[in-house]
Amino acid sequence: MMNMPLTVGSMLERAEKFFPKKEVVSRTLSGVHRFTYEEIGKRTRRLSSALERIGVSQGDRVGTLAWNHHRHLEIYFAAPGMGAVLHTINLRLSQEHLVYVINHAEDKVILIDEDLLPLIEGIKDRLTSVEAFIIMSDNDELPETDLSPVHSYEELLSEADESYEFVKDIDENAPAGMCYTSATTGNPKGVVYSHRGIVLHGFAMALADTAALSESDRCMPVVPMFHANAWGLPFAATWLGTTQVLPGPQFTPKLLAEFIESEKVTVTAGVPTIWLGLLKELDEGNYDTSSVRAVLCGGSAAPSGMIKAYETKYKMPFLHAYGMTETSPLVTLSRLKSYQEDLPEQDKLDIRAKQGLLVPGLEMKVLGANGEVAWDGEEMGELLIRGPWIADEYYKDERTEEAFRDGWLHTGDVVTVDNEGVIKIVDRTKDLIKSGGEWISSVDLENALMAHEAVFEASVVAVAHPEWQERPVACVVLKDAYKDTVSAEDLQAFLKPQFAKWWLPDDIVFLDEIPKTSVGKFLKRSLRDKLKDHLLSGTK
């Protein structure tokens, strides 16, 4: 067979050639805009040529600090298209971490949304590699800034060449993008994506047995474009000619619901906290969500109660998936096998609430205390993965040695595998609760709590205990309507028949809100700190 390099530039070329009329719907600060792939193609080529003119060359890192919108999509292709490396910066990182990732990646230029300028202005004197800033704005006049030198995105484009040719003679293993994991401890870790990895991951997203992304979809990635490349959706959707709906800055659940209705979104993607928020909005409003064929949910465990609510009340089918920044990210996705369709509804839900089957192209191994675990749905072990879209190191980082060993990525996720090969995440290693030598899954308890009609959000953490070493404590946010009527005892009584006695939380603490990480997951570290002495000091 021919050995033709798989390149990111060729993904956009396909959209330009075969789907020039298809649209990208983009919300920015000034409103909702529509661009055809023909326009996006021309603007992207202009951007590559402009970047070249201001001194970006092959291999240079191009940073972005931006929401999900058309300009961010253009950079997704313009940087790799010219052989440079797209570095999507998480705009919710702390100042310290922003400085760290920009300097560590050695970004040469940074493209910034105008409303995010203060994030960079506050740290500009500590940046060691950046030679220019490009401001993305809908206004002709740039906002006041003390950054220097600055360019206007639109002005650069207007002066640039729309016939720019994407580089062809590029090694498919060359870097095309990079993303840092949001650090729970220490500095964020950098992951570099190759052209080949991005293209192959695009295939994986389009398989009928995975997300089945297709030309006929109208895809709205709610997951930020700085979180594992919005799960590869912008790349895959462009390649397939899929209509994209990019929800832009500071969106609300209301805005998402309105977009689903007005743009007839068929596929959308995000972390569970997004879907908990949207569910509340759907419960309160009156929206037509009948266009949706899949709500892709990953990043943390999708509570089965939430899946059920979406599917029964709103007829919005859920697709639970698992992955990591290190894995591009798609690793497993939960669908029923054809012969499971006749099972009772609850059994089917239980299967689909697990993280699912490994997607074609990857390999997995689950290592327990005595080697590979039995596929019995009981024995726990750490999930190891390898494959063509799995990173093989952290960028210039000695923590590579811990996670990448013997040709496998050690995920740090503890899982069980059932006799169908379906994996279930028990916990992140560091979130498991060790009670008197036995393990308790915080995920299972959270799942059960979030199935209670009064519970909006629940997060369960390990808290030090004088006798048992650690015990579970649940932090719960009640829905407004239940705030005065539901007690901790009610929730304990609800859990009791579902778990062994020693699994039940020692306490249930009510909060107004559960703190979130920079990518919208429950921030367990903060809850653990808050509750550190909860079971020692006699407060309980």
Report the distance separating Cα 463 and Cα 506, nearest Å: 9
Interaction between residue 411 and ligand ADP (CB under 6 A)? yes
* Residue from 289, 300, 435, 459 in contact with ligand ADP (CB under 6 A): 300
User: Which residue of the set 17, 313, 439, 483 is catalytic?
Assistant: 439
Q: Tell me the window of 5-13, 38-46, 76-84, 517-525 that interacts with ligand ADP (CB under 6 A).
A: 517-525
Residue 114 one-letter amino acid: E
Structure-token pair, residue 172:
């498919």
Copy the structure tokens of residue 436.
């008197």
- Please tell me whether residue 301 binds ligand ADP under the rule CB under 6 A: yes
User: How many C-beta neighbours within 10 Å does residue 4 have?
Assistant: 8
| Least gap, CB of 159 to ligand ADP (angstroms) | 38
Residue 519 interacting with ligand ADP (CB under 6 A) = yes
Examine the residue annotation and report whether 284 is marked as an active-site residue of this protein: no
Give me the least distance between CB of 228 and ligand ADP, in Å please: 6
Tell me if 422 contacts ligand ADP by CB under 6 A.
Answer: no
Residue 430 is a catalytic residue = no
Written as one string, the DSSP assignment of 334-399 is: ----GGGTTS-HHHHHHHHTS-BEEPTT-EEEEEETTEEPPSSS---EEEEEESTTS-SS-TT-TT
- Whether the upstream peptide bond of residue 329 has omega within 30° of 0, thus cis, is yes
Give yes or no: 275 in active site.
no
Pick the stretch among 25-33, 70-78, 294-302, 368-376 that binds ligand ADP (CB under 6 A): 294-302
Sign, CA torsion 188/194/198/200: negative
Does 344 sit behind a cis peptide bond, omega within 30 degrees of 0 on the bond before it? no
Please give the residues from 317 up to 376 whose contact with ligand ADP meets the rule CB under 6 A: 320, 322-325, 355
Distance of CA 413 to the CA centre of its chain: 16
Query: Which residue, 48 or 355, is less far from ligand ADP as judged by CB?
Result: 355
User: How many residues form the binding site for ligand ADP (CB under 6 A)?
Assistant: 20
390 binds ligand ADP (CB under 6 A): no
Q: Interface with ligand ADP includes 181 (CB under 6 A)? A: yes
Options 16, 52, 217, 413; binder of ligand ADP; rule CB under 6 A: 413
Minimum CB separation of residue 218 from ligand ADP in Å reads: 24
User: Of 108, 95, 96, 28, whose CA–CA distance to 63 is shortest?
Assistant: 108
Pick the closest to residue 395 from 99, 6, 61 (CA basis).
61
CB of 355 to ligand ADP, least distance (A): 5
263 interacts with ligand ADP by CB under 6 A: no
Minimum separation from the CB atom of position 200 to ligand ADP (A): 19
521 interacts with ligand ADP by CB under 6 A: yes
Read off φ and ψ for residue 192, nearest 5 degrees: -105, 130
**Closest distance of CB 382 from ligand ADP, Å:** 11
Alpha carbons 288 and 254: distance in angstroms, whole number: 13
CB of 278 to ligand ADP, least distance (A): 17
- Asked about 521 being catalytic, the answer comes back as no
Cβ atoms of residues 175 and 60 within 8 Å:
no
Catalytic residue among 64, 88, 181, 242: 181
Strand 318-323 relative to strand 330-333: parallel, antiparallel, unpaired? antiparallel
Chain positions contacting ligand ADP, by CB under 6 A: 181-182, 228, 298-301, 320, 322-325, 355, 411, 413, 425, 428, 517, 519, 521
By annotation, the residues acting in catalysis are 181, 326, 434, 439
